[in-house]
Amino acid sequence: MENLVYIALFAPFVSSLFAALFGMTERKVWIGIVASILLGISWISSVTLAYHIYITGEPIHVTMMDWINAGDIHIPFGFVVDQVSVTMMSVVTTVSTVVHIYAIGYMDHDKSFNRFFSYLSAFVFSMMILVMSDNFAGLFIGWEGVGVCSWLLIGFWYHKEDLPREQNPSISPSWAANEAFIVNRIADLGMLVGIFVIYWNTGTLQYDEVFAQLPNLSPHILTIAAIALFIGAMGKSAQFPLHTWLTDAMEGPTPVSALIHAATMVTAGVFLVIRANPLFAMTPDVSFFIASLGTFVAFYAASMALVERDLKRIIAYSTLSQLGYMFAAAGLGAYWIALFHLAAHAFFKALLFLGAGNVMHAMHDELDVFKMGELRKKMKGTWIYMTLASLALGGLPPLAGYWSKDAIIETAFNEHTYFLWFILVVTAGMTAFYSFRQIFLTFHGEDRHTALGFHPHEMYKFVLVAMSPLAVLAVITGWFMKDYEEFITELLPAYEMSEHTHHLTAYLGLIVLAFAISGIVLAYFKYARTGKNAFKQDANVEQGFIFKLLKNQYYVPAIYERFITEPYKVISGILWTSVDVKIVDATVDGIAKFLYTSGDKTRSMQTGNLSNYLNWMAVGGVILLVVAVISAMIA
C-alpha cells in the first residue's frame, strides 16, 4: 500500500516533468494523452487506497525523508493517508483526470498545449502534497505550490494586454495572476504565523503530535493559532475580504477554472479547517466567526451572481458562495458535512465549468450570456450536462447538491443559529435563481447569437464522453451520504442532529426546496420564454442603485485600488525619490561634501608664506589657551 501512496503522489509529478520537457516545442497531442494516463494512474491508486481505508479503517503513514532540521525543529516529508486525505485525493484525482482529458480537446488550437499540461499536472502534484502531508509545513509546501501553479495558469495567456476595468473587469490575465498570488500571500503570512505559534507552543508541526498536545495549551494560544490558520484559509478559499482574486482568476483557460478555481484549490482552506478540526473545535468563538463569515460570503457572492452577465464569472460567484456554505458547516462543527459538500460541489461545479468551456469554445471566447440564447438546439450534450450540474447546484433532489447543502442548512437550524439558517435558506433560493438564469439565458429563450455572427457547434464527442463521469457523480454522490458518514466519522467527529431537528427535518427540507424551486420558476419566467415574453434588458433596473452596487461587486475592487494599490504605488515612489534619494543619500553625500569643501577651503592656509603661518600659529595658540582655561575652570 505504501507504494500506492507514492504512485498516487508522484504520477502527476512525472506527468508534469514529462510535459515540461516538451514545453517549448509545438503541440503534440500524445503529451496530453500521456499526462491523462498518468493522472489516471494516480486516480486508480487513490481510489484503491480509499477502498483499502474503507475496508481496514487503518490510516497509512509514510515518511519519505527529512526536509528541514535546524535547532529543535524537525520537518520530514511525511504523508498520511486517512479518511480525510483519501477523500480529498479521490476527489482531486477524479476531477483532474477528467479535466486533463477535457483539455486535450479544449486546448487543441493553443500553441502552448504542452506547457499547459505541464502546469496542470504540477498543480495536481502540489494539491496532492497539500492534502496528503502529515505536518503543517508540508501542507504549506502544497499550499504555496498550488498558489504558484494557479499564478502560472491564470496568467497562461500572458501575451494579452491590460485593458481598463470597464472593458475587462479582470484587466488582463497577467494582472489577475499577480493579484491572485499577492492576495494569497497576504493570507499565507497568517498561515505562517499559525505555524510559528504551533511550533513554539508544542515543539512540533506533525498533526498527530500537535493535536495530542492541544489540551495542554491555554485558550489564548489556541485562539491565536486558530485565527492565524483561518486567515490562511481565507486567502486560498477566497473568503471576504480576500475574495476579489477568484472572479478575476477566470482569465485563465476554462479547464483551469474548473479544476483549480472551483473544484480543488479553493477548497484548500476548507480542508485546512477540517484537518485541524481538533483545534477549531476547542475555539468555539473562532468557529462561530468562521460560520458567520461563511454564511455572509454565501449570501454576498450569490447576490453578485444575480446581475452578472459573464458566464464564467457567474459560476465563479457561485463557487464563492458554496465555499461559504462549506465554511458555515465547518464552523458549526459539522466537519464531515463540510467535507461531503466539498466533494459533491467539486463534481458538479467542475461539470458546470467544463460545460461553460464548451460554450466558450463554441462561441469563440464570447462569455456574455446576453449574446447567447437558444444554444440547446446546437449543443445538446452540453445543455444536458449544464442543466444537470445546475440542478445539483440549486439543490434539487435527488442530485448531489440537494443532500449536502440540505445537511448544512439543517445544521445551522440544529445549532439554533436561526439567523444563519435563514440567510442560508434565502441564499439557496438565490443560488437556484442565478444558476437557472444563466442556463436559460444561454440555452433557452430567443436566439440572440446568430444575429451577432456566431455559429456555435457542439464540442468534440470524446470531450463530452470524458465529462460523463462528473455528470454521473453529480447525480449519485448524495445517495451514498449515509455510507460516507460511517466511513468518515471514524476520523472526524460525528455530528448528530438533535431530536427536535429530527422531527422537523422533512419540513426544513421542504422550505429549502420551496425556495430553490421558486428561484428556478422565477428565472424561467424572466429569461426562458420566447416571442413577446422574451427577455429584454431593462434600463430602469440597470440604472438602479442596487443593480449598480452588485454589478460593481459592491465597489470592493475599486476601493482596494483606490485605498491600497494606488497609495502603495504613490508611497513607494515618494519613499524612493524623496526619502531615499533626497534625505538618506543626500545626508551621506552632504557629509562627504562638507569634508571635501572644508578641506578645499582650509587649503588656502597653505600659502607658503612664513608670516601667514605665524599668524595661524598665533590663532591656534590662542584657541588652545582658551580651551585650557575653560577646562581648568570646569575641573
Pairing of strands 60-70, 73-81: antiparallel
Grid coordinates 515540461 are at which residue?
Answer: 20
State which residue, 71 or 608, has the beta carbon closest to another protein.
71
Told to check if 590 binds another protein by CB under 8 A, we report: no
Tell me the helix, strand and coil percentages in the chain, rounded to 5.
Answer: 75, 5, 20
Contact 123/265 with Cβ under 8 angstroms?
Answer: yes
List of residues 6+ apart from 495 with CB closer than 8 A: 333, 334, 335, 336, 337, 411
* Span 168-187, contacts to another protein by CB under 8 A: 172-175, 178, 181-182, 185-186
The dihedral over CA atoms of 440, 443, 446, 451, expressed in degrees to the nearest 10, equals 140
Candidates 64-72, 285-293, 510-518, 623-631 — which segment interacts with another protein by CB under 8 A? 64-72
State which residue, 541 or 591, has the beta carbon closest to another protein.
591
User: Do you know the residue count of the chain?
Assistant: 635
* Span 22-61, contacts to another protein by CB under 8 A: 23-24
Q: Helix 268-275 vs helix 335-362: angle between axes, to the nearest 10 degrees?
A: 170
Nearest to 474 by CA among 263, 317, 255: 263
Nearest to 411 by CA among 338, 465, 343: 338
State which residue, 595 or 628, has the beta carbon closest to another protein.
595
State which residue, 57 or 203, has the beta carbon closest to another protein.
203
* Span 552-571, contacts to another protein by CB under 8 A: 568-569, 571
Contact 470/463 with Cβ under 8 angstroms?
Answer: no
The least CB distance from residue 8 to another protein, in Å, is: 19
Told to check if 10 binds another protein by CB under 8 A, we report: no
15/11 Cα distance (integer angstroms): 6
* Span 287-346, contacts to another protein by CB under 8 A: none
Candidates 42-50, 62-70, 426-434, 456-464 — which segment interacts with another protein by CB under 8 A? 62-70
Coil, strand or helix at 310 = strand
Residue 106 identity (one-letter amino acid):
Y
Nearest to 281 by CA among 331, 242, 227: 331
173/249 Cα distance (integer angstroms): 8
The number of C-alpha atoms within 13 Å of 339 and in the hemisphere containing its C-beta is 33
Cell of 50: 480509499
Candidates 3, 26, 55, 71; binder of another protein (CB under 8 A) is: 71
The least CB distance from residue 490 to another protein, in Å, is: 31
Told to check if 162 binds another protein by CB under 8 A, we report: yes
The least CB distance from residue 600 to another protein, in Å, is: 16
The angle subtended at Cα 112 by Cα 381 and Cα 267, nearest 5°, is: 60
558/48 Cα distance (integer angstroms): 48
Told to check if 192 binds another protein by CB under 8 A, we report: yes
The least CB distance from residue 198 to another protein, in Å, is: 11
313/369 Cα distance (integer angstroms): 11
337/444 Cα distance (integer angstroms): 34
Label each residue of 58-106 as H, E or C: CCEEEEEEEEEEECCEEEEEEEEECHHHHHHHHHHHHHHHHHHHHHHHH
Candidates 236-244, 473-481, 583-591, 613-621 — which segment interacts with another protein by CB under 8 A? 583-591
State which residue, 129 or 464, has the beta carbon closest to another protein.
129
Tell me how far CA of residue 222 lies from CA of 58, 143, 285, 406, 618, in angstroms.
Answer: 29, 22, 11, 31, 77
440/446 Cα distance (integer angstroms): 10
The H or E element that residue 425 is part of is: helix 418-443
State which residue, 137 or 279, has the beta carbon closest to another protein.
137
State which residue, 158 or 419, has the beta carbon closest to another protein.
158
525/78 Cα distance (integer angstroms): 55
Candidates 29, 476, 541, 592; binder of another protein (CB under 8 A) is: 592
State which residue, 587 or 615, has the beta carbon closest to another protein.
587
99/96 Cα distance (integer angstroms): 5
* Span 195-234, contacts to another protein by CB under 8 A: 195-197, 199-200, 203
The least CB distance from residue 599 to another protein, in Å, is: 13
Grid coordinates 501512496 are at which residue?
Answer: 5
State which residue, 140 or 527, has the beta carbon closest to another protein.
140
Candidates 2-10, 274-282, 585-593, 604-612 — which segment interacts with another protein by CB under 8 A? 585-593
State which residue, 73 or 623, has the beta carbon closest to another protein.
73
State which residue, 187 or 329, has the beta carbon closest to another protein.
187
Binding-residue total with another protein (CB under 8 A)? 56
* Span 492-551, contacts to another protein by CB under 8 A: none
Candidates 30, 56, 57, 159; binder of another protein (CB under 8 A) is: 159
Candidates 451, 575, 618, 623; binder of another protein (CB under 8 A) is: 575
H-only helix segments in 259-310: 268-275, 277-281, 284-305
Told to check if 68 binds another protein by CB under 8 A, we report: yes
Candidates 57, 284, 493, 573; binder of another protein (CB under 8 A) is: 573
Candidates 63, 530, 572, 615; binder of another protein (CB under 8 A) is: 572
The least CB distance from residue 189 to another protein, in Å, is: 5
* Span 124-153, contacts to another protein by CB under 8 A: 137, 140-141, 144-145, 148
Across-strand partners of 420?
none
* Span 377-436, contacts to another protein by CB under 8 A: none
Candidates 486, 538, 580, 600; binder of another protein (CB under 8 A) is: 580
Candidates 28, 160, 309, 551; binder of another protein (CB under 8 A) is: 160
Told to check if 582 binds another protein by CB under 8 A, we report: no
State which residue, 573 or 621, has the beta carbon closest to another protein.
573
Residue 366 identity (one-letter amino acid):
E
Candidates 58, 161, 285, 542; binder of another protein (CB under 8 A) is: 161
Which spans of this chain sit near another protein (rule: CB under 8 A)? 23-24, 65-73, 137, 140-141, 144-145, 148, 155, 158-162, 172-175, 178, 181-182, 185-186, 188-189, 192-193, 195-197, 199-200, 203, 568-569, 571-573, 575-577, 580, 584-585, 587-588, 592
